Chain A
Amino acid sequence: SQQGEEDPQALSIQEGENATMNCSYKTSINNLQWYRQNSGRGLVHLILIRSNEREKHSGRLRVTLDTSKKSSSLLITASRAADTASYFCATDESNTGKLIFGQGTTLQVKP
């Protein structure tokens, strides 16, 4: 079952610019997580935001959560070429804890 949907599907920016990715979901959640995947490799956890939180920061990452709109955004500030990757949001079904991943946003940061 598909829960999170990311927007845009692909994003291309210059190094130093900010990148914003959005995620929408359908059912109630306990938390929402963002993961990064470098080409063909395993996903790496970036940040988790709980349903009672509105904003969270981690280094150059800023995540917001709007439970009334069932949406989240991931902002990467001052992007670097090394940020080139696919980014996935994942939501947990509040009754089972199962994580459901979105389709991902492919980010390309040009040097």
Chain B
Amino acid sequence: EAQVTQNPRYLITVTGKKLTVTCSQNMNHEYMSWYRQDPGLGLRQIYYSMNVEVTDKGDVPEGYKVSRKEKRNFPLILESPSPNQTSLYFCASSLSGRGGEQFFGPGTRLTVL
């Protein structure tokens, strides 16, 4: 089944404790992206990747890192999480980065205490 998977689905952590949210897609998509969703602010893009080893900042990249060593994986790293990073995170992928249909993962609900 074609899908985007994220892990973990739920995470409660404390300020400053490094964490990684994994994202994997099995559709051989070139484009992958991370979003955060907050009430009243909608979906905001954190980072995106047009292909392996090619990543770029989205609208709200501060406090996050990403890597794209393999086509299928695009982990989101929070080196030193802070409470303002409490949010619902979505990974998405599409065939190319040219505005086509995006496939979303189920989301990761992160709480930073």
Contacts and interface: CB of A to CB of B under 8 A. Distances in A.
A104 B41 CA distance: 10
Contacts of A1: 59
Nearest to A48: B101
Interface string B84-105: 0000101010001111111111
A1 B59 CA distance: 7
Interface stretch (B14-22, B42-50, B63-71): B42-50
B106 interface: yes
Nearest to A104: B42
A contact residues, range: 20 to 34
A111 B48 CA distance: 40
Interface of A: 1-2, 29-31, 33, 35, 40-45, 48, 88, 90, 92-93, 96-104
B81 interface: no
Interface in B15-53: 33, 35, 40-43, 45, 48
B54 to A, nearest CB: 13
B101 A40 contact: no
Given A103-B42, A104-B42, A97 B98 contact: yes
When A and B form their complex, which 10 residue pairs have the shortest distance between CB atoms, in order from nearest?
A92-B99, A42-B104, A97-B98, A101-B43, A97-B99, A103-B42, A43-B104, A45-B101, A42-B106, A97-B97
